[in-house]
Chain A
Amino acid sequence: DAGVIQSPRHEVTEMGQEVTLRCKPISGHNSLFWYRQTMMRGLELLIYFNNNVPIDDSGMPEDRFSAKMPNASFSTLKIQPSEPRDSAVYFCASSSDRVVLFFGSGTQLSVL
């Protein structure tokens, strides 16, 4: 299995632009997580899906952030409009048991 696949690996954008991050979980995994990692705040859970349904989005910082999982093999995290404080590494992770997480390589987002 190729593991969790995220794209793009790097994204540089200007403040106010829309950013879309993509994730393909491991086949057969029914849970998907979006995390954000910064030096100041560490690894923070943004949202968690189980069987394509959002279960907990309490970690989403504000309405500018939205996430979707239209099917079992694809999820997006969208930021609109983006701000410099959104700069971070965004990780997607999937799991078959909601306990052991397998992380993707991450997207390094820089908002100028």
Chain B
Amino acid sequence: QKEVEQNSGPLSVPEGAIASLNCTYSDRGSQSFFWYRQYSGKSPELIMFIYSNGDKEDGRFTAQLNKASQYVSLLIRDSQPSDSATYLCAVNRNAGNMLTFGGGTRLMVKP
């Protein structure tokens, strides 16, 4: 079992819809959870992070964390074609440890 698992996709949604990206992790000691966006041919860039159970909102993005289920998700409201990219989930155990990345989910937003 991989430490961080994501469906590789592609996930296709129409413009204006809500895109839901999911991630599961195996280490119950994981403390911090991150979503990075990577456009084709570019480097990953941080979208947001979450530490506590529940929801965290930032603009059109909402991260959801459920530690009991070892599940973290990213919702993108009012999806735009410019949101088309690969979304990488990453977790770490504590501030002294390194991030472990999932394989990423490719999102396609169709006009």
Which of A's residues lie within 8 Å of B, judged by CB?
33, 42-45, 48, 56, 91, 97-106
Contacts and interface: CB of A to CB of B under 8 A. Distances in A.
B43 A43 contact: no
Contacts of A56: 98
Interface string B94-111: 011111111110000000
B35 to A, nearest CB: 12
A91 B49 contact: no
The prevalent SS among residues of A at the interface is: strand
The prevalent SS among residues of B at the interface is: loop
B34 to A, nearest CB: 8
Contacts of B42: 105
Interface in B19-48: 32, 34, 42-46
Contacts of B43: 91, 103-106
Nearest to A43: B101
A105 B42 CA distance: 6
Contacts of B98: 33, 45, 48, 56, 98
A22 to B, nearest CB: 16
A103 B44 contact: yes
Interface string B64-103: 0000000000000000000000001000100111111111
